[in-house]
Amino acid sequence: MNRRDFFATTALGGAASVLTPSLNFAYPNAVPAARMKLTFKPYTLELRHPFGVAVNTRTTTPVVLTTIEYGKFKGYGEASMPPYLGESQESVTKFLSKVDLSKYENPLELETILSDIDAIDVNNTAAKASVDIALHDLAGKIMGQPLYNMWGFNKAKTPNTVFTIGIDTPEVVRQKVQEVDPQFKLLKIKLGRDNDREIIEAVRSVSDKPLVTDANQGWKNKEKALETIHFLKEKGAVLIEQPMPKEMVDENAWITERSPIPVMADEAIKRLPDLVKMRGAYHGVNLKLMKTAGLREAHKMIALARAFGMKVMIGCMTETSCGITAAAHLTPMVDWADLDGALLIKNDAFKGITFVDGKITLPSAPGIGAVPR
């Protein structure tokens, strides 16, 4: 018998017949002959306060909640669709109705399954993220481990989250800052309309916390933008996100070359290839699961950003504690986290991460560790 035949008939051949279709051999929690089933339902998040950024103000955010069942296990996921990003409950449910998970024997083959889902259609990153998150949750539950253990991260190394103050009148900004200041170590201040300096002065009249600032593409003149950034630095800003429109690559790069604080891409970088295209135009990137199509690509983007010498922040949309907790499992690897999205809503459908003195505290249950309320 030659070497190849030997392996085919003994070790590998034997192992293959044990491993598929039953996963019992490798993972005691696996269910023989079970198949995954995806279900989903639209849900509307109600915001505690109207939320203003450079381009609009809103009071609700549409989401779609997903569940993947596999035997006795249930993995939970979520798609969040702030209207300006182009997805809706209709587009997400339409996309998800094309996803057939029943054809996969092994739910742990995340790379294969998620590549197939990505190939169903272009864009639809929130819809794709909702499957990615639920699948990671399911995989963790089958393996009996929280995501941070599956990835080899130290849960003690989570950063503090920032708490975001939306654009409003200086008086309302002052009130909001006073309300949250004792609970958080960093505040994120949305800028990019015509009252940036007034807002910053209002914040500074009631708080001396370091500030993460975000212009959300609101500035249109690079010299004026740089001047404002110098003002922000004097006022204790530690970074500025997306100063100018994402299409103005050279102008943003011009600011990056001269800025006294890190310039972070948000709208300009959604997925992995964008990181390559925008290399050199920003000091860092704000990754959000709803942009990256989920955890798997966000994890890869952290590695690539580090290889490029870039700073990394993990952000979020307004989401339930399902999506937020999923993203939080990546935070031991990043410089900053902006994961206050579930604190901004009245009707969180999940319990997940908590904040102890503003520090992200991960649940230790298997998978994401987010539990329906």
Which of 132/241 has CB closer to Mg ion?
241
Runs of H (alpha helix) within 315-361: 321-328
Q: Applying CB under 5 A, does 338 fall inside the site for Mg ion?
A: no
Residue sitting closest to Mg ion (CB) = 266
Q: How far is the CB of 317 from Mg ion (least distance, A)?
A: 10
Q: How far is the CB of 5 from Mg ion (least distance, A)?
A: 58
Distance CA 185, CA 53 (A): 22
> Angle 222-234/196-204 helices, nearest 10 degrees?
10
Runs of H (alpha helix) within 195-354: 196-204, 222-234, 249-258, 272-277, 289-292, 295-307, 321-328
Q: Applying CB under 5 A, does 214 fall inside the site for Mg ion?
A: yes
Among 266, 297, 319, 348, binds Mg ion (CB under 5 A): 266
Which of 268/362 has CB closer to Mg ion?
268
Q: Using DSSP bridges, classify how beta strands 57-70 and 73-80 pair: parallel, antiparallel or unpaired.
A: antiparallel
Stretch that binds Mg ion, among 24-32, 114-122, 214-222, 327-335 (CB under 5 A): 214-222
Stretch that binds Mg ion, among 55-63, 264-272, 275-283, 352-360 (CB under 5 A): 264-272
Which of 251/266 has CB closer to Mg ion?
266
Q: Are 241 and 266 in contact (CB under 8 A)?
A: yes
The H-or-E segment that residue 76 falls in is: strand 73-80
Q: Applying CB under 5 A, does 241 fall inside the site for Mg ion?
A: yes
Stretch that binds Mg ion, among 27-35, 208-216, 271-279, 323-331 (CB under 5 A): 208-216
Q: Applying CB under 5 A, does 297 fall inside the site for Mg ion?
A: no
The H-or-E segment that residue 371 falls in is: strand 371-372
Give the footprint of Mg ion on this chain (CB under 5 A).
214, 241, 266
